[in-house]
């Protein structure tokens, strides 16, 4: 394999957040590899947002399980946040 071919392979693997051996193995197995729609920084931000939503949902669930009333607005806000994240992923 020429150095130029290896560099192309390496760049393709990097774009997909994969190692070169993993990329080559997937290609050899005939896997259809699709580039991610979002970058690594966006993934970190989405993970942070999902963690925040999860914490809020846990607090609301605990409150409800203790017999408290969960405001419909709080649930709507969580649903809206999840919808925003879903739009970024699709």
Helix (H, G, I), strand (E, B) or coil at 37: coil
pLDDT value at position 83?
A: 92
Contact between 17 and 37 (Cβ < 8 Å): no
Dump pLDDT digits (tens) for 60-82.
999 999 999 999 999 999 999 99
The angle formed by the CA atoms of residues 7, 10 and 16, to the nearest 5 degrees, is: 145
Condensed to tens digits (0 to 9), the pLDDT of residues 7-56 reads 998 988 888 888 999 989 988 998 888 776 777 788 889 999 999 999 99
Q: The tokens 């925040």 sit on which residue?
A: 52
Predicted pLDDT at 52 = 94
In this predicted structure, what is the pLDDT of residue 80? Answer: 93
Tokens 């931000």 belong to: 45
Give this prediction's pTM.
0.57
């Amino acid at each position: 394999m020429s150095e130029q071919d290896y560099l192309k392979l390496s760049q393709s693997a990097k774009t997909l957040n994969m190692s070169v051996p993993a990329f080559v193995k997937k290609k050899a197995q005939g896997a259809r590899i699709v580039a991610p729609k979002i970058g690594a920084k966006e993934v970190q931000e989405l993970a942070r947002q999902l963690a925040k939503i999860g914490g809020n949902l846990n607090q609301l669930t605990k409150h409800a399980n203790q017999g408290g009333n969960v405001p419909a607005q709080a649930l709507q806000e969580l649903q809206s946040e999840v919808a925003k994240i879903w739009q970024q992923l699709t």
